[in-house]
Structure 1
């Protein structure tokens, strides 16, 4: 069977399995078994068992359940209320005023969560009712929340960067550092849009609020101290060389439990709910990764990635043309798959192409996360859209239309990253220059 016939068969099997509602992990494993069946001499059952076991015992993935648990604990605490109270006094005089709380709140919470859905839900449950009560435009409020919630994937600690790092055997600490500057740039782009929109639509903005004295602003900062201490504890431990990402995740869980307890938001029921939610999410991701490991191994036996890479190389595509093609591919996949599934599903096939094009794996990881961010706000399977639909009860496609400007800003961010790779590479190169 030729490379194109085998590729078409595997794509058909994958689409058919997903259309039938088969779990992503089982769909990946089924595709792997079909690929292995094309090579009768390969012991498919042995490959399946070995790959599943190897993927399940990866030390790099130990940080995953800890960071997920930390986000679940904070989601059930009073963190969002404290953040709104701490940030709002400093933005109420900017064009766009309290809408900036969505962007800044998501950026801050992203630094302690690592999950896009958790970031969107935590900030949205307090900001959307407040913005609606004060007369802010619904579309701007919803769009800015959905777009900014995706920062949970980019700003460290990021769950999807852990998954990518484990898949390509790249340093998770370097990936975390590389996500800082692009995350800040993307947040600035979002805030810039809010400013421009509010200046162009002054009649849709509520009346200006009373200016607060600096004494009141400094008093509000105290509400942000717990989250800043948590960020310093987790991120500082990693970048200060005091702990690995896995060890820092445990520190984050301990600090989150302590913070929630001091706030009076932690009891036996909430502790159990957070732990069970983190366990379910972690098992889901680990299962998907195990299925992806089987597919990766199967692809290696069939030689399909090498043949596809050779074929694309013969097309003479420049690195930028390849990047544009991959961007369109991921945007298309984002209409049907969640971000983690996209990463693990495509890694086996695209990494030989990425290596052949000469892309830095750390840089490509940041590019990949930004493209996956787009998938979080594209219907019909945009997780952030589902979260906001649950918060507001609005039609899914109305929410998607509100997020369109922020989707386009992510496209601009991809272009900036391609034109200026040092946006992602300067900080890790500087911090790890001695290693």
Structure 2
């Protein structure tokens, strides 16, 4: 059997397993096992055991369960509601009014969560009832929360950036800081869209609330102090060099537990629920990563990544065409797979082609997260859409239509990132050099 035919067999095994509804991690292991059997004479079980151990013992992976646990603690505390209370006074006089609160709250919560689903669910739990009760257009409310919930993937500490950093062997600290400006850009685009819709009368927003004195706004903002302390403790410790991303995750968990206890939200029940939820999510991600590492090894035996890289570079596509093709590819994958699965499935195969095309791997990580964010808003497997459907009872078609404008805003962000790569690269270069 030729190498090309055997490589095609691997692709068929992987796609066939996913089509049959096999868990992503199991599909990866099965495909990797088939690859080892076809392309290597090594004992498959020995290779599997060694590979799982080496891929699972990466020290940087220790940050994953800690950041997930921190998000679960916050999800069960009053600090999520305090975000709304503290931000609302500053938004009341802007075009779109409190419609901006969900966006900013998502951005802030993303900085202490790292998970898109957790960000979306937490903000929706507080913002949707409040905004609907005040008369805000339901489509706009659900669209802003679905769209801005994706910020949990981009604004550090991002779980998916850790996954990419491990898979691509890139500095997680550099990736974290590279996500700051693009995340801010996405927030700005979302807020500009809400303001435009309100100013043009495209959506109905209630009359502006009476103006508040500056001192009253400051008093209302006191509820943001705990979250601010948490952000400084987590993100600040990384950027100042006081802690590695893994160490900062431990700092975040301790701070979140202390604050949750201080506000009376921490009890045995919430502690146990948060720990179990974090364990389940972490185990799922670790299992997918282990399967991905095993598949990567099998792909290496087959020579498929190098073949694809040679084929793509041989086409001599311009950067614009290459990125346009990749964007369409990732958006289509986002219709059927979750973000972490997309990253681990494609990184090993595409990275050689990306490097051969002269694209910076840190920049590519941010680009990849942005296009994966779009997948959180595309049916039938848009995770944020399902989160909002479960919380509001609205059908998936209504929520998809509400989220579509924010999907387009993410597309604009990708275009701006491609035209101005320094949006992602300037801060890492400033702090760490070339």
* Pairwise TM-score range, normalised by the shorter structure: over 0.9
Residue 5 of structure 1 deviates from its aligned partner by 3.3
Q: Secondary structure at the match of 2:254?
A: helix
Residue 181 and residue 237 in structure 1: after superposition, are their counterparts in 2 closer, same or farther (change >3 A)? same
Q: Deviations over 1:399-422 (max 9, x none)?
A: 111111100111111111111100
Is the CA contact (8 Å cut-off) linking 2:135 and 2:206 kept in structure 1? yes
Q: Deviations over 1:328-368 (max 9, x none)?
A: 11101101100000000111110111110111111110000
In structure 1, the residue matched to 2:298 is: 298
Residue 201 and residue 3 in structure 1: after superposition, are their counterparts in 2 closer, same or farther (change >3 A)? farther
CA distance in 2 between partners of 1:198 and 1:42 (Å): 64
In structure 2, the residue matched to 1:289 is: 289
Is the CA contact (8 Å cut-off) linking 2:140 and 2:203 kept in structure 1? no
Q: Would you say 1:18 and 2:10 are equivalent positions?
A: no
In structure 2, the residue matched to 1:314 is: 314
Q: How many residues align?
A: 434
In structure 2, the residue matched to 1:72 is: 72
| Structure 1 unaligned regions, length at least 5 | none
Is the CA contact (8 Å cut-off) linking 2:40 and 2:301 kept in structure 1? no
Is the CA contact (8 Å cut-off) linking 1:295 and 1:348 kept in structure 2? no
With 70-79 and 214-223 compared, the bigger mean Cα shift is at: 214-223
With 191-200 and 308-317 compared, the bigger mean Cα shift is at: 308-317
In structure 2, the residue matched to 1:332 is: 332
User: How do 1:132-143 residues align onto structure 2 when only pairs under 5 Å count?
Assistant: 132-143=132-143
Residue 53 of structure 1 deviates from its aligned partner by 1.1
Is the CA contact (8 Å cut-off) linking 1:226 and 1:259 kept in structure 2? yes
CA distance in 2 between partners of 1:202 and 1:387 (Å): 26
Q: Would you say 1:416 and 2:416 are equivalent positions?
A: yes
Q: Would you say 1:198 and 2:198 are equivalent positions?
A: yes
Cα RMSD (Å) of the superposition? 1.3
User: How do 1:380-395 residues align onto structure 2 when only pairs under 5 Å count?
Assistant: 380-395=380-395
* TM-score normalised by L of structure 2: 0.98
Is the CA contact (8 Å cut-off) linking 2:370 and 2:410 kept in structure 1? yes
Residue 4 of structure 1 deviates from its aligned partner by 4.9
Residue 43 of structure 1 deviates from its aligned partner by 3.1
Residue 248 of structure 1 deviates from its aligned partner by 0.5
CA distance in 2 between partners of 1:59 and 1:204 (Å): 50
Is the CA contact (8 Å cut-off) linking 1:47 and 1:297 kept in structure 2? no
With 418-427 and 305-314 compared, the bigger mean Cα shift is at: 305-314
CA distance in 2 between partners of 1:322 and 1:5 (Å): 26
* TM-score normalised by L of structure 1: 0.97
Residue 226 and residue 306 in structure 1: after superposition, are their counterparts in 2 closer, same or farther (change >3 A)? same
Is the CA contact (8 Å cut-off) linking 2:86 and 2:220 kept in structure 1? yes
User: How do 1:348-427 residues align onto structure 2 when only pairs under 5 Å count?
Assistant: 348-427=348-427
Q: Secondary structure at the match of 2:317?
A: coil
In structure 2, the residue matched to 1:189 is: 189
With 180-189 and 32-41 compared, the bigger mean Cα shift is at: 32-41
Residue 189 of structure 1 deviates from its aligned partner by 0.3
CA distance in 2 between partners of 1:318 and 1:10 (Å): 29
In structure 2, the residue matched to 1:236 is: 236
In structure 1, the residue matched to 2:29 is: 29
CA distance in 2 between partners of 1:304 and 1:153 (Å): 29
Residue 380 and residue 426 in structure 1: after superposition, are their counterparts in 2 closer, same or farther (change >3 A)? same
Residue 286 and residue 344 in structure 1: after superposition, are their counterparts in 2 closer, same or farther (change >3 A)? same
| Structure 2 unaligned regions, length at least 5 | none
Q: Would you say 1:222 and 2:255 are equivalent positions?
A: no
CA distance in 2 between partners of 1:308 and 1:33 (Å): 21
Q: Secondary structure at the match of 1:165?
A: helix
Q: Secondary structure at the match of 1:373?
A: helix
Q: Deviations over 1:292-343 (max 9, x none)?
A: 0000011111111111111122212122211111111110110110000000
Residue 3 and residue 416 in structure 1: after superposition, are their counterparts in 2 closer, same or farther (change >3 A)? farther
